[in-house]
């Protein structure tokens, strides 16, 4: 019998299926609980579709060489789909319960009530919402100390990052335990306060809207904007984090570039935040001063630069963009 905790997900849609895929792949028993009341025929159809989608996802990844396709039956055996009427049996024994119903407050409220009624007393409840604050959702459960938000990025079975957002009522052990389980699954959980958009949706909303504006204003074609992201923005920030990159080039460069764009467009959306000018006033410009958003004072900076250069070269190799030097004289 597995010592890994059983994990359930209330909601058998795209996110729930992606979570079940990840959970079962990592060796856990996975239970998908249908959040809607359906006829036996409709539930059988939903269950079949959910299991087929998960199995097809596994097969696609296996076909790319990620693992042996022969492992799929064992992974699929760990997954159960339960009807709403059978929720008590489905949630029984599950240490962690994810909520993955549509972004509608009434649907969330009903899912939380299902957890309160049927989940084990010490079970953790984690919503997967990307839009509703965890502080607002906490009022929907009778066990706020066991609740937090866990925002998975799509596709859930591929993307490692999960944004955890506890509330003031969340017990420290609840956060620590969920983080421990996710890390053991190979995920990368990070913690943020309950703030609109959390981290990734907030950053990507700005980037996607700016990309759309470039096309709208006729600055570049959609194809070239996406090439700029794929071969520039994406490669760079796949290696260096945004704040790390500010330090790499220098916060002063961002400050002056931001002011130029603000004046050129007459739009404060380009204005640098106060923390940039504050860092400059304190001499915290980045690598060249030994500190910025991060502290480099005790670091071998040259060795750090070389490691990052190696990371860039690996990213270029993955993208098929490395080329040897041209040695002929034409």
Q: pLDDT tens for residues 29-68? A: 999 999 999 999 999 999 999 999 999 999 999 999 999 9
- Domain regions of the chain by residue span: 6-191, 200-318
* Average pLDDT estimate for 209-228: 97
Is the domain 6-191 a CATH 3.40.50.720 member? yes
Say if residues 128 and 35 touch (Cβ distance below 8 Å).
Answer: no
The Cα–Cα gap between 133 and 136 comes to 5
The Cα–Cα gap between 80 and 32 comes to 6
**Residue 120, SS3?**
coil
The Cα–Cα gap between 129 and 150 comes to 7
For tokens 């950053």, what's the residue? Answer: 203
Q: Which are the contacts of 149, defined by CB distance < 8 A and separation ≥ 6?
A: 126, 127, 128, 129, 133, 134, 137, 163, 164, 165, 166, 194, 198
The Cα–Cα gap between 289 and 277 comes to 15
Beta strands in the chain (DSSP E): 6-10, 30-33, 79-82, 94-99, 124-127, 147-152, 161-165, 188-191
Say if residues 225 and 276 touch (Cβ distance below 8 Å).
Answer: no
Q: Give me the percent of the chain exceeding a pLDDT of 70.
A: 100
Question: pLDDT band for position 217 (50/70/90)?
Answer: very high
Is the domain 200-318 a CATH 3.40.50.10490 member? no
Asked if the domains at 6-191 and 200-318 fall in one CATH topology, the answer is: no
For tokens 């100390």, what's the residue? Answer: 145
* Average pLDDT estimate for 184-206: 95
Question: pLDDT band for position 1 (50/70/90)?
Answer: low
Q: CA dist 80 to 23, 37, 178, 230, Å?
A: 12, 17, 21, 38
In the 3-class helix/strand/coil scheme, how is 236-247 assigned residue by residue? HHCCCCHHHHHH
* Average pLDDT estimate for 110-139: 96
**pLDDT value at residue 324:** 87
Task: Tell me the per-residue pLDDT of 240-266, one tens digit each, with 9 for 90 and over.
Answer: 999 999 999 999 999 999 999 999 999
The pTM (predicted TM-score) of the whole model is 0.91
């Amino acid at each position: 019998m597995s010592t890994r905790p059983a994990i359930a997900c209330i909601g058998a849609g795209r996110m729930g299926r992606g979570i079940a895929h990840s959970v079962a792949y990592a060796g856990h028993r996975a239970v998908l609980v249908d959040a809607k009341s359906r006829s036996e025929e409709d539930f059988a159809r939903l269950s079949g579709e959910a299991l087929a989608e998960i199995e097809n996802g596994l097969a696609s990844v296996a076909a790319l060489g990620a693992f042996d396709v022969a492992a799929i039956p064992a992974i699929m055996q760990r997954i159960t789909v339960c009807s709403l009427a059978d929720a008590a049996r489905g949630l029984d024994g599950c240490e962690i319960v994810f909520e993955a119903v549509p972004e509608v407050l009434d649907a969330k409220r009903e899912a939380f009530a299902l957890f309160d009624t049927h989940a084990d007393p010490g079970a953790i409840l984690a919503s997967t919402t990307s839009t509703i604050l965890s502080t607002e959702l906490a009022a929907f459960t009778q066990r706020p100390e066991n609740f937090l938000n866990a925002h998975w990025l799509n596709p859930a079975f591929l993307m490692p990052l999960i944004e955890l957002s506890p509330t003031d009522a969340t017990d420290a052990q609840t956060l620590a335990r969920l983080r421990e389980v996710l890390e053991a699954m190979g995920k990368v959980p990070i913690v943020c306060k309950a703030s609109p958009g959390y981290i990734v949706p907030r950053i990507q909303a700005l980037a996607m809207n700016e990309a759309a504006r470039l096309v709208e204003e006729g600055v570049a074609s959609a194809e070239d904007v996406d090439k700029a992201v794929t071969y520039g923005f994406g490669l760079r920030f796949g290696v260096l984090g945004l704040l790390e990159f500010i330090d790499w080039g220098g916060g002063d460069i961002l400050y002056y570039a931001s002011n130029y764009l603000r004046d050129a467009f007459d739009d404060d959306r380009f204005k640098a935040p106060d923390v940039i000018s504050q860092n400059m006033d304190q001499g915290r410009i980045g690598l060249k001063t030994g500190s910025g958003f991060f502290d480099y004072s005790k670091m071998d900076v040259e060795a750090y630069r070389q490691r990052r250069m190696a990371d860039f070269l690996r990213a270029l190799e993955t993208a098929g963009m490395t080329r040897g030097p041209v040695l002929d004289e034409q």
